[in-house]
Each structure stands twice: as structure tokens, then as C-alpha cells.
Chains A and B, each alone.
Chain A
Amino acid sequence: MTTTAPPPTAPPPHKAKTVTRPGDRIFSGLSRGSGIFVLVIMGAIALFLTIRAVSAISKDHANFFTTFEWNAALTPPQFGIAVLAYGTIVSAVIAMAIAVPIAVGIALFITHYAPRRLGDVIAYVIDLLAAVPSIIYGLWGALFLVPHLQGLNLWLNHYLGWTVIFHKSDPNSTPRSLFTVGILLAIMILPIITNVSREVIRQVPKMHEEAALALGATRWEVIRMSVLPFARSGIISASMLGLGRALGETMAVATVLSADSTLSAHLLDPGGGTFSQNIVAKFGEATNFGRDALIASGLVLFVITLLVNGAARLIIARRKEYSGANA
């Protein structure tokens, strides 16, 4: 030690006299390493997708964001995500509009209306719904739901056709439409919204409900006055988790939707597409470049779901801190 630099003022990072055993060091290193590995994977997903996507988009001779058609095999290639983004968002929004009220209803049913036994059974059934693989929803959706929705489609067209969105251009076309996809997605995301909402509704302190009861509130008034306001942020984030699922669902959309590159406000008309449906549908015949193009659309999907899920988780985390400090 020939340096004259003053000794560091901060204490050494190791706590005084703590012997770190090799076993401890290896094990904590391993587990810490696993945690870091998870982060690395997330980073790698973003990085690798971006690398391939950039190389694909740079060769795109059409505007990637506003072009309807997906013709990556053309020379020069022309492809864009306008239809896909529209279809993904519209079908997810339909799914949310149907699923959220029903899911909150079921969550309330389990927590406040059903006898305890029945509530447990239903919670279990909902878990089973969540466990059914999406391809089976897809098969059921395409072979059972689609023909059975024709009646509803005609009805909507007849009575609500004037709203434009429920106008069906060709009444005889099979309802392989974004609307049907939305209904199927609603069924698929129902369990996750129900389960998360149920948890937050369970966390509503009994004393807030009793406060409303003691004022002479009916059961519904108790729910409106104390349960829903308290659980609101939790229900919002539950819905966003469901939204994330709906945005990324692949197989159920691929089987039900009869896809093309039209962007139509008529939700009952077949056509349109979603990100993941397009990837599966175009992948088989795609060249290596075509696959890069698909990866580019996947990157957009990744970013969207990342934002939606991240926001949902942040809301949950903030809420936890808030109620934790309050308790």
C-alpha cells in the first residue's frame, strides 16, 4: 500500500465480522442470478425483436403504421399494421365491454350473494374456465359459436343496423367477424378478471360495509357505497390484465376470424385481422424476410401488452401501498 489516498470513509460493504460461508454465497448467488436472469430475458426479448424488426421495417416500401395490406413477399415488400392494430384493439374492446361487467357481477356473486358453499364451487368452476387451452376455445368458437351467433347477428343487424357498427353488409355471410372474436375473447378473459376482482373485493374492510349496513342500506346500496368505490382501482387493473390477454390471444382468433386486409366499421362483417392471428396465418408461407416482417408486428404487440400489463401492475402496487398504510 503505497498510495497516499485517504482511506474510504464509507464502511466496507461487508458487515463487520460476518463470516459468509461458501454455501451461503453460492446459494444466494444462484437465486439472485435467477432473478437477474428473468430481467435479462425480458431485455433480450425487447432487444432481439427490435433487431429483426428494424431490419425488416427498413426494407418496407410502404408506411409500416398506415398500410392496410401485408405483402412482405412482394418485391419491393409492402406491409403495414393498420388493419391488424385496428382489429386487435376493436376485438379486445368488444371483449372488455362484455367481460368486465359480467366478471364483476360474478365476483360480487361469489363474495356477496351466493351461499358460501356455492361461492366456492363457482370459484372453482371459474378456475376451470381459465385452465381450458385457448385452442379448444378456438375450436369450439369456430365450429359451435360461429353458427350459433348467426341469429344474434341478424337480430342486431335488423334492429341496430342503423348504428353503422352493427350493420351487416351481406346478411348471409358467416359471422367470422371481429364481433364474434370479441365475444369469444370475452369468454376467455372472464376468469382472470373475475379472479382478480374477487380478490380485491374480498379485501374491502368489513367495517366499511358495516357502516353502510348500519345506515339502513340494502345489499346493493352497500355494494355501491362501500364495496365498489374501495375496489375500483383493483377492478380497473384486473380489467387491464384481461385486456392484455385479449390483445395477445392467437389461436382462438386464428380459427374464428375470416381474415383479410379490410378495415371496416361494420363489426359484423367478416374480415380484418389481429397481430397474432396474422403472424400464425402468414408464417407458414413466409420467407426469412417475411418472418422478420412478422417479428416487427410482434414487436408492436409486445410493446402494447407491456404497457397495458405494466400499467395494471403499477395500479395494483400503488393500491397495495395505499391500503397497507391505511390498515
Chain B
Amino acid sequence: MAKRIDVSGLSAYYGSHKAIDDISMTVEPGSVTAFIGPSGCGKSTFLRTLNRMHEVTPGGRVEGKVMLDDENLYGSGVDPVTVRRTVGMVFQRPNPFPTMSIYDNVAAGLRLNGIRRKGELDTIVEKSLKGANLWNEVKDRLNKPGSGLSGGQQQRLCIARAIAVEPEVLLMDEPCSALDPISTLAIEDLIGELKERFTIVIVTHNMQQAARVSERTAFFNLAAVGQPGKLIEIDDTERIFANPSVQATEDYISGRFG
């Protein structure tokens, strides 16, 4: 179910500005990979190239290859809509559809894919909300609007919405940066459970979080403001935090800059 991501020679642009330069890496299936690095280093941009969300931004453009197992996301004849169904995403700020109920939020992606039978929807919605550790909190108010939940609950609702369509990969763009510590802990626990079913890539500003949730960590940096971001190194999380092979990584992790 979970798939391997193999990126080679990937660069992304905003208009004429190059945001990330020539990135190659492999993300193992069924594991958590964390992206860390200073602000503006392009880690979020890179994440968004993994489900073709980058090209949604006006002027956004990508070069290079992203292989999902044996298929190139940017190959000819590939529909970005299909890609995004296969590679789910959770955003920095919780963004449940404000006009939809909790139930409809989770069911939104399923309905897009033509699942309309009530029983089938009910089952998957319950399963997804349980999967996001939210079921017990919302099972009595599934028809209330999703915007009435707390920030942490909203974020778990968004995770439930993303996993309801059973993607192969789950991308998370700083999913906890707008949340309080308790909600953050709940999400981190959830990530630990989800990695058995999905390949997870998470961008985070919080290095402890990277250390807690991920098996592999990639460090991004940029030479100077206005320069494109680069991948400095990717390695087992333990090694990155204990004994990185590049000096810049150690400087960043030990708080000497960034």
C-alpha cells in the first residue's frame, strides 16, 4: 500500500526565480521522513512538488523526476488530479471546509471518487475518524460544522479527510505549527500509528519533533537569501542528530544558526 518515492534532479521555480535546486533523494515506504531547515530553504516548496501542488501557485513550474514506485509523477499523460488522490496532503493551518459538517468533510474526497452509498460512506468515515484518533470526540456531533472544533481537532479532522481516500503517501506541511503542545502530542502519536499504512513526509520547524517522529531526516539549506534551496544531507534521524556528516547540519541542529 505504501509506496517508495524516488526523486532525481528536481528543481522548482516561481516564475523566473529558482526556489529549489537539483534535489535527489529516496523516501522509504512505510516510514516517516522529516524535512528540516531554516525558513525559506524550500522544504515546503519541495514537499508541494511531491503531489504536484507546486504548479497550482501562479508561475510555479517544476523540472526533474519524481518516481512513485515505478511511475513518474511528472511523466506525460499523468493527470495531476490523479496524483493528488494518490499522494494526500495536510496543511500548516487546519483547513476543514467551513461550510461542511464534520461528516461531510471526511466524506468529501470519497464523494469526489464516486462513492455515494450511505452505508459505505458511513463505514469509511468512521474508520478514518478512528484512524485520526478523533472518533470518540466527534461521534455524537458528526453533523455539526467542522469549523466548530478546536485547532488540534480540526487538524486531526483534516488528517481523517486525507486518509479517507486511502492515499499511498501522506505529506504534512508543518502540521503542528499552529497548535498547542497537547494537540501537537496527539498529532505526533497519530503519525506514529499512521506510518504503518502510509509513507509519511513531514516538514517541521521543530527539531525535537523531527527527532521524535521520524526515522529519516533531510536537512535543507540555502547559500544566501535569493539563492535556491538545496538538500544538504539525508540520513537516519539518529545519525543526523548525533553525528551529522556535514558541518552545516550540525551548526543548525546545535542552534548555532537558523
Contacts and interface: CB of A to CB of B under 8 A. Distances in A.
A228 to B, nearest CB: 9
Interface residues of A, number: 20
Contacts of B100: 229
A213 interface: yes
B61 to A, nearest CB: 14
B56 A216 contact: no
A247 B93 CA distance: 44
Given A208-B97, A211-B158, A225-B97, A216 B91 contact: no
B91 A207 contact: yes
A215 B161 contact: yes
Interface stretch (B81-89, B220-228, B235-243): B81-89
Given A116-B58, A225-B108, A214 B97 contact: no
A214 B99 contact: no
Interface in A218-235: 218, 221, 225-226, 229-230, 232
A208 B100 CA distance: 12
A214 B53 CA distance: 7
Contacts, number: 68
Interface in B94-112: 95-100, 108-109, 112
Given A116-B58, A221-B112, A214 B89 contact: yes
Given A210-B53, A213-B56, A326 B82 contact: no
B234 interface: no
Interface string A194-213: 00000000000101101111
B187 interface: no
Contact of B81 (A218, A225, A326): A218
Contact of B98 (A210, A214, A218, A230): A230
B56 A230 contact: no
Contacts of A281: none
Which of A207, A211, A216 gathers most chain B CB within 10 Å?
A216
Contacts of A263: none
A2 to B, nearest CB: 63
A232 to B, nearest CB: 8
B165 interface: yes
Interface residues of B, number: 29
A49 interface: no
B92 to A, nearest CB: 8
Given A207-B93, A326-B98, A215 B56 contact: no
Q: Which of A208, A215, A226 counts the most B-chain CB atoms under 10 A from its CB?
A: A215
B7 interface: no
B109 A210 contact: no
A217 interface: yes
B11 interface: no
Contacts of A215: 84-85, 88, 108-109, 112, 161-162, 165
A173 B165 CA distance: 60
A99 to B, nearest CB: 25
A326 B146 CA distance: 13
Given A207-B93, A229-B97, A229-B99, A214 B108 contact: no
8 contacts: A210-B53, A210-B56, A211-B95, A215-B109, A215-B161, A216-B82, A216-B86, A217-B84
Interface of A: 116, 205, 207-208, 210-218, 221, 225-226, 229-230, 232, 326
